[in-house]
Every structure is written in C-alpha cells, then in structure tokens.
Amino acid sequence: MVCFLKITTNLNNFSENVAEDIPFLQQIGIDTVSFSLRPMFGPREGQVLESPRPYELDELMNNLNAAVKMIRQASLKANEFSFDITNALLGKAEGNKELDIAKALIKAAGDAAVSQIWVRPLGIRQGPGGVPGRYNRAHRGGYLMSAFSVKLMKEELSKRDLTSRWSHHFTNNITIEGYFDNLVKALQKLVPIAEDADVKLMLHTDDPPVPDSDNLLPGIMNPVLINRIFEAIPSKNLGLLFCVGTRYETGVDIYDQIRLFGNMGKIFAVHFRNVRGTLPSAGEYEEVMLDEGDMDMFEILKALKATGYDGTLSPDHPTIFIGDDKRRATLAWNVGYIRALLQALKSEGYD
C-alpha cells in the first residue's frame, strides 16, 4: 500500500549503530525520516539548564551532511531536522552567532533538499525537560507512558531549588512580551533565508501547555501568540509542527484547532499521539497508546485531510514496552495502527 500521508520517525542519532535500524524502518513501511543534528544548545543528562554548550557550525554541517548521506544511501527521504535559538530569544549576546549558524543551516538544508526545519523556541522555559511535573504512569498490561500533573509541578517549583533542571524559572527575568519581540526579530532574519532556500520553518506549541502561573515562566507558543507571529511574518514558509496531543491537553476543541490552522495552510507536519485527560478538567493528563485515549484518531485524520493536509504523521513519545529497549516494538505498533487508519481513510474516498 502506498500511503498518501507519510508516516515518519526520528533518527535520534546517525552513528553506525543507527544504520542497523534502517532496514527495520524499511520493513515496517517508513520511507521518510527526520533527524537530529544534536541540540545546538541542549542540556546534558543531570545538568542545570543555564549554561549549555553551543555546537560550532563546522560540527553541525558535518553532522547534517553525514545524516543526509546515510539516509539517501538507504533510499529514504530526509524530511526534517531541528535546532533551537535559545540565546537569541533571551536577548543574549551569543544570539547573533546563533542566528548566523541558523542561517547557514537553512541554506544547507535547501541545498540538501531537506524541506522542513523545526525551530525550537525553547529559551523561556528551556523546553519540555525544563518544566517539572512529569512522571511515568502504567497502563494496560503495565506499559508505561509519560503523564503530567500541575500539582506536582507546583510542588517541585515551590522548593526553588537553584541546582535543579528548572532553576531558570527563578533566575530568568525575561517577560513574555520581551521574549515574543525577540522571537519575531529572529524569525524576520531567518524566514527570508528559508524562502530563498525553499525550506519551511516550523514552530511547535508549548509542551506541556501549562497555563501561566506565579511559579511558571509563561509559555510563548499558544494559539493567540502564534497568530500574532503569523501576522507579523506573513510568509508561506512559516508554519506549525502541529502536535495533536499538546493541543488536546489544553482542553480546546481539537477539530477547531485543526480547521483554524489547517485552513490557513499553516500545518506543515503533525505529531500524532493520543492523550487521556486535560489540564482544565483534571489538572493533569496522561499520554496513552493511539487506541486508548480520548481522541478518535481516525476522526483526527479526516479533519486533517478536510483542510487539504498532505504532509507527515509522526507517532512521537514512544510507549515503554517490556523488553523493548530499542523501542522497535512500540514504533512497529504505532506505524501499523496508522497505516490501517490511512487504508480505511482511502476506502472512504479520501485521496
């Protein structure tokens, strides 16, 4: 079966060990992959997130070329990679160098026919790993997936532990408007490069999508502010990596969200996962397998197709199965489930 929507997964590395996984990806029907250049400004295990080491341009370029070469040699399509622009968004002096690196990477992506880049505006909250309140919860048969609780988040933040991975909640003084202005200025520099290179830049909504509170640095990537970004930078090359799970967790009507951004032509890629519970209704949520959550994933696909979406579906946030150390079983399960949904979608006349 040839899927009219592409299922993709991430090659978290591109060492020789990852090359062993490529035949497996081909066996389960994946022909499009995203990859990492390693975080441009990312934490190491157990580190406080205040002074991460930047990667130099030569290192990142070598990684990009190595990844694309390996992916193409396997007859796969290199679809997407990501980087963050933390210092630029926090208004730090290192931000200018960071944006120069980002410009070079965008040009290189265009030359390598990598069509999309996920720009991670992680600075204000340092990304999902910089917000406490996550834990693993067991489900049917004991499989584990991530859950999040606002209560646990607040309990941890109340300690004001300056040696913790979320110390930036107490030391970062940037306002949401200051951060927003920095993001717009950064994108105004990057988007013209992306237009020239025929590369799409994607933004992801906040994960976790926690409401503003006295104990939490405000999130930037919510629909109101995203629309302000699109108004400030009206480019067909700037859009969303639309996370179905993150949007549902906020308690909004997920179908309204799909219509809102899909009909604007702003959904460039989709993170396709299911969730049980929302923050407004329960103060927490739990990630679950595709067939167990609150959302009907078949209806989600129909809503996406109704807006004309024809991009990729990524079953991110893997399930932890017994003995599945390489996460192959969870990926095969998700891909098989999504392929069945796509086949049913085609049988109903969608193309």
Q: How many Å apart are CA 270 and CA 285, to the nearest integer? A: 20
The pTM assigned to this predicted structure is: 0.91
Q: Residues, the chain, total?
A: 351
Instruction: Calculate the CA 103 to chain-centre distance.
Output: 20
Per CATH, domain 6-347 is 3.20.20.150: yes
Peptide bond into 208 cis (omega under 30): yes
Name the pairing type of β-strands 274-276 and 284-288.
Answer: antiparallel
**How much is the pLDDT for 45?**
41
Find the mean pLDDT for residues 148-170.
89
Q: Residue 262: what pLDDT?
A: 96
Q: What is the pLDDT of residues 258-309, one digit of tens each?
A: 999 999 999 999 999 999 999 989 999 999 999 999 999 999 999 999 999 9
| Helix and strand numbers, DSSP H then E, in the chain | 14, 12
Crossing angle of helices 297-306 and 254-262, in 10° steps, is 20
Nearest-angstrom CA–CA distance, 335 and 33: 13
Give the per-residue pLDDT at 213: 46
Closest Cα partner for 258 from 201, 308, 206, 220?
Answer: 308
pLDDT of the residue at 206: 83
Closest C-alpha to 266, from 233, 291, 241: 241
In tens, the pLDDT along 82-132 reads: 888 888 888 888 899 999 999 999 999 999 999 999 987 666 677 778 889
User: What confidence score (pLDDT) does residue 137 get?
Assistant: 97
Backbone φ and ψ of 224, nearest 5°: -65, -50
Residue-level pLDDT at 225: 81
Which of the pair, 133 or 37, is modelled with greater confidence? 133
Average pLDDT over residues 18-41: 81
Q: What DSSP string runs through 260-314?
A: HHHTTT-EEEEE--EEE--HHHHSEEEEE-TTTSSS-HHHHHHHHHHTT--SEEE
Q: Among 39-43, 165-169, 213-217, whose mean pLDDT is lowest?
A: 39-43
Mean pLDDT value of segment 238-248? 95
Instruction: Report d(CA 82, CA 87) in Å as an integer.
Output: 16
Q: Say how far apart CA 111 and CA 113 lie, in whole Å.
A: 6
If you average pLDDT over every residue of the chain, what do you get? Answer: 87
